[in-house]
Amino acid sequence: MLLLKSRGNRIGMGALLAIALTGIAWGRDPGVAPGQSWTLAAHVAVAGDLQGPGTEYAQRLMDAASSGGWALCMQLDGADGVLSRRKLTAGGTVTEEEVGEAACPEEAIASLLSSAREFAPADRYVLIVYGHDVRTTPELEDALTFRAIGEGATRGIGRAVDLLVLDRCYGACVEALWELRESVDVLVAAPGRRPSRGIEWEGIIGHSEPSRYSCTKGLARRLVRQEEAAAGRGMVALRPRYATEVADAVGRLVEAMEGRMESVVPVLSRAIGQAGWGGDERTVDLRGLCGHVASACDGDIAAAAEATITAIERSTMAGKDGCDAGPGISFRTTGALQEETREPRRSLADETGWTRLVEAYENRLRTLMNRPSRAGSDEAA
């Protein structure tokens, strides 16, 4: 029998083969065929103003998966929350089924992934969510929150999802990192707005067999590079497992700034103007915000801002150089944090005191705006 030597150890070829076969089996669902290591699961909104764009998105995703030989379980979220599914095997066979209404958004995601796992067991699962961002459309009571997506995903496959792709506005934010920290390995999303056309899947999975991507990191980085080239709108790949580190750093930054709001408010105003995307969402680039604060302040505030930047960069796998910004954070006291505050579990805002800081900032601004000017006081006198 041939023997291999490695640093003085002699390993039999038969033993190597046994180890390799065992390694292939580890982490794989029962029934996984050799080489079939990825399954795509997609939840696509096709109701309201997304009826046309969502239907087109679903077809383009289906076509791309078919071209590349990817297994896909797609769930269409139609009018009145009625769900239907299309399943595409790696061999190109398509089946359709009616699902009906889910009891809640979490159940819709859990049911989708459970069906995907049963339909096409794999080593790695990609969950794609296309639709509106709940923070910018709070009137959609049944919209998919970060928490509902994460908890539904882990219920569906019994573990964390390997890759979550949020193809909707403002998905790359620290709130998402926090809510998905135990349910998603890698998150790919945009810190700003997204076009209704969504991701160009043909350039990522079309004519590219699943075996091309040997790890989640490779597929995530491909998504980021593709969107930067195709749409000119950056996406970013984040690792939610670093959410606690980011939250701790943000909490220390809040503590450092709270006692000096009089001098901090002008700095924050300038930083928001430079790091924000504008609009009613008041979502700002947290890394950019901290960069401005660090350069304008000193002492513990500057140190806390720099520490927050370091934590953000540890959580960012790809996109920080090619993306306009990210991740984002909400900078208003209402609406944007509704997702996290309407449920009993502690939110990012609870853990860090971020809402408290924003309230203090807004109160200080109101005080300054209502204060009569010196010129006005002189005229009155």
pLDDT digits (tens, 9 = 90+) for 140-198: 555 688 999 999 999 999 999 999 999 988 889 899 999 999 999 999 998 887 888 88
Handedness of CA 291, 272, 356, 260 (dihedral sign): positive
197 and 268 part of one domain: no
248 and 238 part of one domain: no
103 and 193 part of one domain: yes
- How many domains would you assign to the chain? 2
What is the average pLDDT score of the chain? 80
266: helix, strand or coil: helix
Q: What predicted TM-score, i.e. pTM, was given to this entire model?
A: 0.82
Greater confidence, 265 or 18?
A: 265
Look at residue 271 and tell me if it is in a domain: yes
300: exposed, middle or buried (Cβ count in 10 Å: 0-12, 13-18, 19+): middle
Q: What pLDDT, on a 0 to 100 scale, did the predictor assign at position 325?
A: 56
Q: What pLDDT, on a 0 to 100 scale, did the predictor assign at position 5?
A: 33
Q: CB of 168 within 8 A of CB of 186?
A: no
For residue 129, what is the domain's CATH number? 3.40.50
95 and 153 part of one domain: yes
Position 53 pLDDT exceeds 60: yes
Share of the chain above pLDDT 90, in %: 42
156 and 196 part of one domain: yes
pLDDT interval class at 271 (50, 70, 90):
confident
pLDDT in tens, 223-235: 888 887 665 567 8
Position 12 pLDDT exceeds 80: no
Structural domain harbouring 354: 243-370
210 and 95 part of one domain: yes
Query: Whole-angstrom Cα distance, residue 305 to residue 252?
Result: 9
Q: What pLDDT, on a 0 to 100 scale, did the predictor assign at position 276?
A: 66
Look at residue 2 and tell me if it is in a domain: no
Position 304 pLDDT exceeds 90: yes
Q: What pLDDT, on a 0 to 100 scale, did the predictor assign at position 330?
A: 80
Q: What pLDDT, on a 0 to 100 scale, did the predictor assign at position 337?
A: 40
Which of 242, 277, 306 corresponds to the end of one domain?
Answer: 242
Q: What angle do CA 361, 239, 203 make, to 5 degrees?
A: 110
Q: What pLDDT, on a 0 to 100 scale, did the predictor assign at position 29?
A: 45
Look at residue 31 and tell me if it is in a domain: no
Residue 4 in tokens? 């291999």
Query: What average pLDDT does this structure show over 278-303?
Result: 83
Q: What pLDDT, on a 0 to 100 scale, did the predictor assign at position 118?
A: 95
237 and 251 part of one domain: no
Element (H, E) at 76: strand 71-77
Look at residue 365 and tell me if it is in a domain: yes
168 and 309 part of one domain: no
Look at residue 286 and tell me if it is in a domain: yes
